[in-house]
Structure 1
Amino acid sequence: MAVWLAITVGGLYGCAFYMLMRRSITKTLIGLILLSNAANLLIFVAAGLTEAQPALIPADSYLPEPGTADPLAQALILTAIVIGFGVLAFAMALIYRAHEVLHVDDFDALKDADE
């Protein structure tokens, strides 16, 4: 199963980089969304896939039992989701404002707006 998820991560990164290199600002935003999802899935796959019990440490032990889920990867993914949502909301606000003022959705047209 990890092989299929690794292929999916590679496909998401490929699609994200392709969309980021487009001239349309909206397609660049979609590429940014795909890039953040690919990064989250990469962290998830790198942590290892196990159907494990929660990482609770018993009262008489200092370490969790073998076969528990890795809570660090889950915390990193949760943090990345929150940060990614903030970046996407900011990018959407910038794109909306650029479209409202300049009426363009093309990076080349934005270069001409400076003149």
Structure 2
Amino acid sequence: MEAIISLIIGVLTACGVYLSLRGRTFPVVLGLTLLSYAANLFLLAMGRLTIGAPPIITETADGYADPIPQALVLTAIVISFAMTAFVIVLALKTFKEMGNDHVDGIHKP
């Protein structure tokens, strides 16, 4: 299972970097989103999730699930959604004002 998670994180990171280096705005936004997903999955995987364990330590519980990685990922998801929406609106405004969607603003045929 660890190999599959590592492979998924690696593929998401590689695709995110590739798309972030493209010349148009939509692939850049998509690449940054994929990088965000990879970081969230990495944080969640490093949290060592335990299935069926309570999130609070009690006298009868043998173990507990650490809620901190889940809270970090939930916060990161909300922030990344807001930033993605902002970047999309910024890209649309730039496209409307400049007439093209190239990242550097120079139209190359």
TM-score by length of 2: 0.88
- Is residue 36–residue 80 contact of structure 2 (8 Å, CA) maintained in 1? yes
Tell me the equivalent position of 1:80: 76
Off by >6 Å, runs of 4+ in structure 1: none
Structure 1 equivalent of residue 86 of structure 2? 90
Q: CA RMSD in A?
A: 1.8
Superposition map of 1:22-37 within 5 A: 22-37=22-37
**Which runs of 5 or more residues in structure 1 are unaligned?**
none
- The question of whether the paired residues in 2 share the 8 Å contact of 1:19 and 1:28 is answered with yes
1:4 to partner: Cα distance:
0.3
Corresponding residue number in structure 2 for 1:100: 96
Q: Which SS does the other structure have where 2:75 is aligned?
A: helix
1:51 match: 51
User: For the residues of structure 1 that align with 2:35 and 2:61, how far apart are their CA atoms?
Assistant: 34
Residue matched to 1:5: 5
Percent identity over paired residues:
36
Bigger radius of gyration: 1
Following TM superposition, by how much is the alpha carbon of 1:65 offset from its aligned partner in structure 2, in angstroms? 3.6
Between the aligned partners of 1:69 and 1:5, the Cα distance in structure 2 is: 19
Of 42-51 and 94-103, more deviation after overlay is shown by 42-51
How high is the TM-score relative to the length of structure 1?
A: 0.84
- Runs (5+) with no aligned partner, structure 2: none
Equivalent residue of 1:107, what SS?
coil
